[in-house]
Amino acid sequence: MKRFLSLVQPSGSLTIGNYIGSIRQFVKLQESYDTFIGVADMHSITVPQNPEFLHRRNREVLAWFVAAGLSDKHCTFFIQSDVRLHAELAWIFECITNMGELSRMTQFKVKTEGKTDKKIPCGLFTYPVLMAADILIYDADIVPVGSDQKQHVELARNIAECFNSRFGDTFVVPEPVIPNVGGRVRDLQDPSKKMSKSATSPKGVIFLDDDEAAIRKKISSAATDMDACVDYDEASKPGVSNLISIYASLNEIGLPEAIAKFKGETRYSVFKKAIADCVVEHLMPIQERYRKVLADGMVDEYLDKGAKRAREVAGRKLDEVFAKVGFGRA
Ligand code: AQP
């Protein structure tokens, strides 16, 4: 059975972007793959985190996974820091990755915009290498990601190919899988940016744990344009197009169908209400399940079981890598 893997950072409350761009895809794939789903707490400290929040969020992210429909029958759930082998492999990968490749990473440029070198932690520069280790240590065949992470999966492919050519066939070269619609959910207030959990303002971000009133308020005040005519055009109508994409993704319909439903509507209030109804309808049942999952106390059991298996799989791969690079005694 082929393997798929994805990790989500517990760097804040999860957003509808995380849900549409990644978690929902995992739910569809889980039965057809040997599925590894992780909480990337080691990645999240590239920006300062409150340790207490981080502990709590690790469990909460897992609870969202389960509430969204992922099951321990199909998934190996783990917290990244429970499998420290990732960091050991990342060190080896850092030694075969050059600075030029990392300097080209768009996420690095976005996250360091306007900052001087003194304010940029090295981890922010090298985390794509840790991400490569996350993926390659499990020999993942596919990695479903939002479009913002595609470049990082490409880096993982380059690293796998580089290692394989230097030390012999060792790693599976993974494929990124990007959703056709919803690969980049945009911030509702500033559609030039992607919706992010750590956005400077929460106004443009729909968090999975937002209550109905907050969701409706955020959507009704989403930035649109002065045309007063609903249509899809990412360049000239990014705000309206974003809302249509969210609608299409959540309803699992194609963009043309979603566009046809709203095209020509002149009242943005009516259009936004339909989007808000759709988001509320989708999120409320997930929120209810989330509360139950946290209350039923199963999260730790899933994580313990998952960490055990993840350590076994990762450990075998790392032993092979250590031997190939010449570590230890022959
Ligand atoms: N806005 C988005 N649209 C589509 N997909 C998205 N993803 C994140 N935001 C969007 C996808 O969610 C997965 C997990 O992401 P992550 O938490 O590991 O890191 P991220 O991409 O950096 O997510 P955020 O929300 O922007 O976090 P912060 O603010 O902490 O940096 C990935 O597959 C990602 O593509």
For each of the domains in the chain, give its residue range(s) and CATH number, in order of start: 3-178+297-325 (3.40.50.620), 202-290 (1.10.240.10)
Phi, psi torsion values for 40, nearest 5 degrees: -90, 70
Query: Is pLDDT of 147 > 90?
Result: no
Tell me the residue type at 156: A
Q: Which of 46, 79, 149, 180 to mutate to test the pocket of ligand 1 (most atoms within 8 A of CB)?
A: 149
Tell me the residue type at 112: T
Mean pLDDT of 118-133: 94
Ligand 1 geometric centre to CA of 143 (Å): 13
Gap between the Cα atoms of 202 and 190, Å rounded: 11
pLDDT at 319: 97
> Per-residue pLDDT tens for 17-53?
999 988 998 999 999 999 999 999 999 999 899 999 9
Task: Kindly report whether the global pTM for this prediction surpasses the value 0.75.
Answer: yes
> Per-residue pLDDT tens for 176-227?
988 776 678 999 999 999 999 989 899 999 999 999 999 999 999 999 999 8
Query: Is pLDDT of 146 > 90?
Result: no
More confident residue, 223 or 118: 223
pLDDT at 166: 97
Q: Which residues line ligand 1 (CB under 6 A)?
A: 8-9, 11-12, 15, 17-18, 20-22, 40, 145-146, 148-149, 183-185, 194-198
More confident residue, 241 or 116: 241
> Per-residue pLDDT tens for 255-300?
999 999 998 899 999 999 999 999 999 999 999 999 999 999 899 9
Tokens at 218, concatenated: 């955020």
> What mean pLDDT value characterizes the chain?
94
The proportion of the chain whose per-residue pLDDT surpasses 90, expressed as a percent, equals 85
Gap between the Cα atoms of 201 and 321, Å rounded: 43
Query: Is pLDDT of 160 > 90?
Result: yes
Ligand 1 geometric centre to CA of 18 (Å): 5
Nearest Cα to 31, choosing from 75, 67, 66? 75
Cβ atoms of 26 and 61 closer than 8 Å: no
Tokens 């920006």, located at residue? 47
Q: How confident is the model at residue 144 (pLDDT cuts 50, 70, 90)?
A: confident
Gap between the Cα atoms of 31 and 164, Å rounded: 30
The proportion of the chain whose per-residue pLDDT surpasses 70, expressed as a percent, equals 99
Query: Is pLDDT of 253 > 90?
Result: yes
Q: Centre a 10 Å sphere on the Cβ of residue 200 and count the other Cβ atoms it contains.
A: 11
Gap between the Cα atoms of 105 and 123, Å rounded: 13
Q: How confident is the model at residue 305 (pLDDT cuts 50, 70, 90)?
A: very high
Mean pLDDT of 98-113: 92
Active site residue 194: yes
DSSP state of 119: G
pLDDT at 111: 86
Could you tell me where the DSSP H helices lie in the chain?
A: 16-18, 24-29, 41-44, 51-67, 85-94, 99-103, 106-112, 122-136, 150-167, 212-220, 238-251, 255-262, 268-295, 299-325
For atom 25 of ligand 1, the residue with the nearest CA is 196
The sheet carrying 142-144 orders its strands as 75-79, 34-39, 3-8, 142-144, 175-177
Gap between the Cα atoms of 56 and 7, Å rounded: 17
Which 3 state secondary structure label does DSSP give 167? helix
pLDDT at 15: 97
Gap between the Cα atoms of 28 and 216, Å rounded: 28
